[in-house]
Structure 1
Amino acid sequence: MVYFIKFLYSTFILPPGIFVLLLIIFSFKLFRYKVNLGKKLLILSIAFYICTIPIAGNSAIRLLENRYKVPANPSGDVIIMLGGGSTLDTPNLGFNGHLSGFAANRLLTSIQLYKKLNIPIIVSGGKVYKSTGTESEISKNILMSMGVPENKIIVENKSINTEQNVKFTKEILNSNNYKKPILVTSAFHMQRAAMQFKKSNVVVLPFPTDYQTNINEDLELNDFIPSSDSMVKLSLSVKEFIGILASYF
């Protein structure tokens, strides 16, 4: 019963389901007066519905996330963690700022690799917007609070996009004579990031993390219920595919 109630309000009350429903109702009403316009709106409604369901978002992002596999026995001399968003003034333990979900998952994986390999971590990411925090500085504070020594953390705080992540991180690699970097970033972002490092003649070992969906697809009813999370995944996927295409040029 609880699941059925959840199904009803998720599908017909919460966005984006409510918008899908209203569009379909309005398109059928239009049929009475303007058939062609009603047909066009119905097609648009169906297209919008497809963009909101998990099967679409998961399928799109899975294409990116399955590009690289997690190494069974990773080895290297430094970890590169790419930033993925942060807040500016939210209170933390002794400092301000938190990492976004993407960046926080990358940080957790970097800590796991540090515990396993005992090698330095380069945290790459600057202040992207006036309203956001400096990602690498926040990452450093969190790493230190988790027991990673300060001398094992290298801060790169100038970059504001993936291309600059690579540019400024490469300078750190060269100045410290690191030869076997392990690249940690979200699985959906790994292909674009790896391409940028390759273009800069930097050989990295990809270590994807922050998976947004399962590796294997197992369909269920929930995969056809409109969800705002599915739209986020689809948007992320489109952004990455455009970035990958742009990287070729």
Structure 2
Amino acid sequence: MAEILFLILGILCLGYFMGIVWYAGLSSRFPLLWMLLGMVFLALGGALHFEIFLPPFLCKILLLLTALFLCLFFFVEARIAKAMIQKAEKNLDYLIVLGAQVKGARPSLSLAYRISEAEKYLKENPETKAVLSGGKGANEEISEAACMYQELVHRGIVPLRLIQENQSINTQQNIAFSYQLLEQDWKKAKQPCRVGIVTSNFHLYRGTAIAKKKTDLLIYGIAAKSSGFLQVNYLVREFFGVLKDWAAGNL
């Protein structure tokens, strides 16, 4: 039974890897994890089939490590999932819209979803302003901030409501550099500034957690949707992103 289970898992992982390559290409190396997992599961299935076993003490150690890893994984994923379903607070003072990949001068699918969520919120809450945060990466003709600005202005958002932050290259810098701009723009010094973080649903836990840790703003989450097919890949990748920022003291 275990042999068949490992073979099925291996085929599913390899199939998912090929699906990602077909659907989105290899814009990062992370999807290779699915190919690696597929090969590991197939190897385990083959080992069981040919009755190749490790010494009992090694099996116990591997089972213990696997159990600990799964406990940590599901603990982190539960926090990510909880952040994904929170409702947006109305009439916030500012949004910080976190950037994502720009393809040439056009938004990628992830960035397009974030832009659409920001547009919806800004039209429903006309007093809210937005900081558009994201620098210019490799193979990008314009910065992520400039791309978001162009799209939102084209969709009818008044330019005076938009502030560009075009130097950041990761989530921590998105928050830190946007916070500096908010301090300059916020006029009601005696009142707490209420800010919504707009990012992809799977990324919302980390984005809001960093903002709460690194600023004195009142932080709320606003989740943009993401690709359904790639969601599993995103959620697994985000697990490692959370661990990385936790180890760096950002959470």
Q: Same fold (TM over 0.5)?
A: yes
**Is 1:36 the counterpart of 2:54 in the alignment?**
yes
1:230 Cα offset (Å) = 2.8
| CA 1:238–1:212: 2 relative to 1, 3 Å | farther
Contact 1:188/1:237, CA 8 A, preserved across alignment: no
- Structure 1 vs Structure 2 CA RMSD: 4.0
Matched residues, number: 210
Within-5 A mapping of 1:173-212? 173-177=182-186, 179-210=193-224
* SS of match in other structure, 2:122: helix
- Which ranges of 4 or more aligned residues in structure 1 deviate by more than 6 Å? 56-59
Within-5 A mapping of 1:19-168? 19=39, 22-28=42-48, 30-31=50-51, 34-36=52-54, 61-67=77-83, 70-71=86-87, 73-87=89-103, 89=104, 96-101=105-110, 103-118=111-126, 119-127=128-136, 129-132=137-140, 133-168=142-177
Q: Aligned partners of 2:73 and 2:232: how far apart in 1?
A: 5
Q: How does the TM-score come out when normalised to structure 1?
A: 0.66
| CA 1:28–1:228: 2 relative to 1, 3 Å | farther
| CA 1:23–1:190: 2 relative to 1, 3 Å | same
Contact 2:96/2:130, CA 8 A, preserved across alignment: yes
* SS of match in other structure, 1:155: strand
Amino acid at match of 1:36: L
1:27-49 per-position Cα deviation (integer Å, ceiling 9, x unaligned): 23553xx5438x97xx79xx7xx
Amino acid at match of 2:108: L
Contact 2:133/2:165, CA 8 A, preserved across alignment: yes
Amino acid at match of 2:184: S
| CA 1:75–1:135: 2 relative to 1, 3 Å | same
* SS of match in other structure, 1:66: helix
User: Once structures 1 and 2 are overlaid, which stretch shifts more, 147-156 or 109-118?
Assistant: 147-156
Amino acid at match of 1:115: K
Amino acid at match of 2:43: L
The corresponding residue for 2:242 is 240
Q: Aligned partners of 1:213 and 1:146: how far apart in 2?
A: 22
1:139 Cα offset (Å) = 0.9
User: Any gaps of 5 or more consecutive residues in structure 2?
Assistant: 1-7, 18-33, 188-192
Q: Aligned partners of 1:115 and 1:228: how far apart in 2?
A: 29
Q: Aligned partners of 2:194 and 2:13: how far apart in 1?
A: 52
| CA 1:207–1:229: 2 relative to 1, 3 Å | closer
1:140 Cα offset (Å) = 1.1
Identity of paired residues, percent?
A: 18
User: Any gaps of 5 or more consecutive residues in structure 1?
Assistant: 1-6, 90-95, 215-226
| CA 1:245–1:100: 2 relative to 1, 3 Å | farther
Q: Aligned partners of 2:238 and 2:167: how far apart in 1?
A: 24
1:11-32 per-position Cα deviation (integer Å, ceiling 9, x unaligned): 497245964663244323553x
